[in-house]
Structure 1
Amino acid sequence: MKRLLVTAALAMTLATSAFAKGKTHHVAVHVDEGDAQVMNMALNNVANLASYYESQGDTVVVEVVAYGPGLLMFVEGKSPVADRISAMSLEMDNLTFSACENTHRAMSKKAGADVLLMSEAQMTPSGVVRLIDLQEQGYAYIRP
């Protein structure tokens, strides 16, 4: 009976591992510069790590967090990387763009009107706090 249980457990383990998915990686990408080159590098990092992990049979969950001058990345009509953000949002299910509400509020006040953000960007109360929260959840931290 003991041998039968061990054999059944081994067969179950092998069957389960044959259908097991690869590892899931979690990455937070920090953008706080209004420089188009930095924004493009951040998006290059996202594309490269997604491609790499996919080739390994793994998945990756990525959140790009922008605040300060980096919020320009998400400003409707002014973002130097708007087309890339739109395309990547459609191509990658596990990609999120988070915009700092504190920065957005300050930008809007300075502009005297609400600064419109791209529809791909979701608001987070504080970009800095969001990065801390993600790291506390085990996300790897990348700053291009």
Structure 2
Amino acid sequence: MLRRLAAAAVLSLAFTASALATDKPHHIAIQVDQNDPQIMNLALNNATNVIEYYRARNEDVDVDIITYCPGLHMLRSDTSPVQDRIRRLKDFVFPGKIQFSACNNTRQGMEKAEGHAISVVSDATIVPSGVVHLMELQEQVWSYVRPQSSRP
């Protein structure tokens, strides 16, 4: 009798632990540091696929696409080749599920080099440093992805 109770208790704990594990929200940080439309679209594809996967499982996921160095062009309102897609994803497809972070260090460097103010798309959040933001997300146990071009 005691063995059955002990076995039932162990199984109950296992099921409870399993249920709690699936309630844990997922987090992914996607790095874009190249001025390459293929990389930018690949990052957006990765974000879309992750959000759709967890949405189908009724699980929460937070996505942050962090841009810095030449990758900031992804979020520049004057040079972004993907700004329409960003707006669609942020406002209509996945509201509240995806964040776009623009590095202020890079923006200031571009402003100095180009001699004029640089604005980012309205769907972006400016962070003091893209690299620091990425590092801090990883310290908070966010998963990390850096899309790579398949070009030589």
User: Is the pair's TM-score, using the shorter chain for normalization, greater than 0.5?
Assistant: yes
Question: 2:51, 2:97 within 8 Å by CA — same for their partners in 1?
Answer: no
Q: Which runs of 4+ in 1 moved over 4 A?
A: none
TM-score computed with the length of structure 2 as normaliser: 0.79
Find the counterpart in structure 2 of residue 70 from structure 1.
Answer: 71
**Residue ranges of structure 1 left out of the alignment (5+ in a row):** 1-9
Counterparts of residues 120-139 of structure 1 (less than 5 Å): 120-139=123-142
Find the counterpart in structure 1 of residue 85 from structure 2.
Answer: 84
Please state whether the residue corresponding to 2:101 is helix, strand or coil.
strand
Shift of the alpha carbon at 1:41?
A: 0.1
TM-score computed with the length of structure 1 as normaliser: 0.83
Shift of the alpha carbon at 1:31?
A: 0.4
Question: 1:30, 1:143 within 8 Å by CA — same for their partners in 2?
Answer: yes
Deviations 1:107-128 (A, max 9, x none): 0111101011111111111110
Find the counterpart in structure 2 of residue 29 from structure 1.
Answer: 30
Shift of the alpha carbon at 1:78?
A: 1.4
Counterparts of residues 51-66 of structure 1 (less than 5 Å): 51-66=52-67
Q: Give the counterpart letter for 1:118 in structure 2.
A: V
Shift of the alpha carbon at 1:139?
A: 0.4
Give the stretch that moved more between structures: 27-36 or 54-63: 54-63
State, as a whole percentage, how many aligned pairs show the same letter. 43
Shift of the alpha carbon at 1:143?
A: 0.7
Question: 1:22, 1:57 within 8 Å by CA — same for their partners in 2?
Answer: no
Question: 2:104, 2:128 within 8 Å by CA — same for their partners in 1?
Answer: yes
